[in-house]
């Protein structure tokens, strides 16, 4: 059973995303750049909903792996243990993040790899804190850190490939040349 208090972190997160969008659109931008910024905001709101709310989803078979409990947080600290459909869906969920990071910044491949792992660690750490204080019952899983980073890398590589293809003008249309 969920309480209204469990939704407060997500609402605060959405508020911060809206502020970030406001900062990014405060400059003169092309239509393509504005579309990138606004869709990135929607994407972040969806990722936040999927990762920071007291909701749960079961894709494929019902997970049978027993968690390691750390306080109120169900955890899986062992990589590649209990791989289910959500392992692959986490990769898919983070592919747009890699695309957006390339469109919004000048980060190189090494930085993207680091950002991918930092994003995964950030999500899982936040879930751990929310489990500890609000009993959100979200799994804190090392596999999610790995798959989040993997998805970011895949998205980044897709844009790199498209930048060197006949579609490079379309990629350029949606890219922010500078964030300053």
Q: Which range among 20-34, 42-56, 91-105, 134-148 has the greatest average pLDDT?
A: 91-105
What's the mean pLDDT when you consider all of the chain?
91
Q: Is the pLDDT of residue 180 over 50?
A: no
Confidence of residue 179 (pLDDT cuts 50, 70, 90): very low
pLDDT of res. 61: 56
Give the highest mean pLDDT range of 35-39, 70-74, 137-141: 35-39
Ramachandran angles phi, psi of 48, nearest 5°: -60, -40
Tokens read off for 168: 């490079």
90 or 55, which is more confident? 90
Query: How far is Cα 49 from Cα 53, in angstroms, rounded to an integer?
Result: 6
Q: What is the DSSP string of 113-166?
A: HHHHHHHHHHHHHHHHHHHHHH-----EEHHHHHHHHHHHHHHHHHHHHHHTST
| Tokens (6 digits) for 169 | 């003008």
């Amino acid at each position: 059973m969920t309480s209204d208090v469990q939704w407060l972190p997500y609402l605060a997160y959405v508020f911060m995303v809206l502020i970030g969008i406001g900062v990014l659109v405060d400059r003169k931008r092309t239509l393509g750049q504005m579309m990138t910024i606004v869709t990135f905001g929607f994407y972040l709101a969806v990722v936040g909903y999927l990762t920071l709310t007291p909701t749960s989803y079961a894709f494929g078979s019902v997970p049978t792996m027993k968690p390691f409990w750390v306080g109120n947080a169900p955890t899986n600290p062992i990589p590649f243990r209990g791989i289910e459909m959500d392992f692959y869906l986490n990769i898919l969920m983070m592919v747009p993040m890699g695309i957006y990071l390339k469109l919004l910044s000048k980060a190189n491949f090494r930085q993207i790899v680091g950002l991918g792992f930092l994003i995964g660690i950030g999500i899982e750490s936040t879930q751990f804190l929310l489990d500890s204080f609000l009993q959100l019952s979200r799994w804190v899983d090392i596999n999610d850190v790995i798959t989040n980073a993997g998805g970011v890398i895949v998205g980044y590589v897709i844009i790199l490939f498209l930048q060197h293809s006949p579609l490079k003008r379309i990629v350029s249309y949606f890219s922010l040349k500078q964030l300053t």
